[in-house]
């Protein structure tokens, strides 16, 4: 299939915008989490963590991006005001994702533990013209698993590196 310069520029623009959005989401959570006291709820098991993240993706795929992220709110170490500000920033940048086409569904890519204290779950959100990867990292300090960080990324090559 022949690709013209406009197609490459459009895809590059979408990648930059989405990459910036993903970086913004991650940075906001890490900075806010570092400055906030820990009041996050935890999930009891990795199975429960997987159910939670699958519910997030179900809402996001159905077009309720904010509703999906709101499911995570009790489990992140940020204040409500910080979380709301983050959602506002993300929603302002959502038009960049319209270039990806309609959301077609999601698929669990993998999940796994590092030792006894870290659990990662990765999904692929499929669109008509591209896909996003979603990564959720849970940490078990003593009892229960807290959501340490999460992000989404349009750069699928990152799924192949650890």
71-129 confidence digits (pLDDT tens): 999 998 888 898 898 888 888 877 777 888 999 999 999 999 999 999 999 999 999 99
Q: What is the pLDDT of residue 13?
A: 46
Q: What is the pLDDT of residue 8?
A: 41
Structure confidence at residue 134 (pLDDT): 95
Position 93 scores a pLDDT of: 77
pLDDT at position 112:
95
Distances (CA, A) of 93 to 1, 19, 24, 62, 98: 30, 11, 10, 18, 10
Is the per-residue pLDDT at 133 higher than 90?
yes
Confidence check: pLDDT of 36 > 50: no
Is the model's pLDDT at 2 over the cut of 80?
Answer: no
Most confident listed range (3-7, 9-13, 49-53, 94-98): 49-53
Phi, psi of 109, rounded to the nearest 5 degrees: -85, -55
Return the pLDDT at 123: 97
How far is 144 from 45, CA to CA, in rounded Å?
Answer: 7
- More reliable by pLDDT, 141 or 161: 141
């Amino acid at each position: 299939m022949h690709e013209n310069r406009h197609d490459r520029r459009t895809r590059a623009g979408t990648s930059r915008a989405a990459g910036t959005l993903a970086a913004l989401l991650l940075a906001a959570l890490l900075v806010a989490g570092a400055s906030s006291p820990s009041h996050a709820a935890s999930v009891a098991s990795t199975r429960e963590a997987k159910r939670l993240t699958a519910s997030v993706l179900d809402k996001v795929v159905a077009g309720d991006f904010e509703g999906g992220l709101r499911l995570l709110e009790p489990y992140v170490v940020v204040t409500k005001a910080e979380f709301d500000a983050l959602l506002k920033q993300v929603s302002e940048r959502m038009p960049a994702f319209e270039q990806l086409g309609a959301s077609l569904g999601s698929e669990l890519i993998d999940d796994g533990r590092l030792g006894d204290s870290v659990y990662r779950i990765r999904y692929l959100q499929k669109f008509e013209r591209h896909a996003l990867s979603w990564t959720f990292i849970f940490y078990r300090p003593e009892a229960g698993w807290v959501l340490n960080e999460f992000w989404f990324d349009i750069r699928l090559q990152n799924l192949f590196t650890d």
